[in-house]
A and B are shown apart, each in its own frame.
Chain A
């Protein structure tokens, strides 16, 4: 049970912001939202995570709606190297590192 819904694919022009949406309408109050990405044939790479507040790091920003039922990952200036599958994951407490990756969004950055 992935508990998240993401678009199957998206395109973004190089240099523009990439906004990847995720719906998690059944999220509980103590469940975190995580984002990972996987570049072809490599292991998934951690991007960012958050609970309630918006978060920003050197890679991306995470915007979580006030009701926490959806979130958006923002890559501020997409490059060709950002082409990857992006996974939005709701981490269920007390399940350790048992992440449900779902099908993710395949982002293609176009030159």
Chain B
């Protein structure tokens, strides 16, 4: 069974640009969550999508957005990049049940110059 796949694994952008990250969940999983990990703030929840609808949202500015497609694949977008957006962006998929565990991908490491 294939795991969670995130693309691209590494990318470099400059301030003011935008970026789109992609996540393919485990087959059959309908929930996709996104997390940001930085040395200073640790792992922080961005948002969760379930059956194409945003189910939860963390405390991030509106520059961070996401969506989920009918095949459960998800994308997140960050517009007007800032230096502080440099981070490891992790995607996690789950069945979406109350106690279902999260399965994380390897992450997309974004560097903003």
Contact = CB atoms under 8 A, between A and B. Distances in A.
A98 B43 CA distance: 11
Interface residues of B, number: 27
B48 A98 contact: yes
Decide if the interface of chain B is mainly helix, strand, loop or mixed. Answer: strand
Contacts of B103: 46
B104 A93 contact: no
Interface string B80-113: 0000000010101010101101111111000000
Nearest to A32: B99
Interface string A75-107: 000000000000100010101111111111000
B96 to A, nearest CB: 8
B98 A43 contact: no
Interface of A: 32, 34, 36, 41-46, 49, 87, 91, 93, 95-104
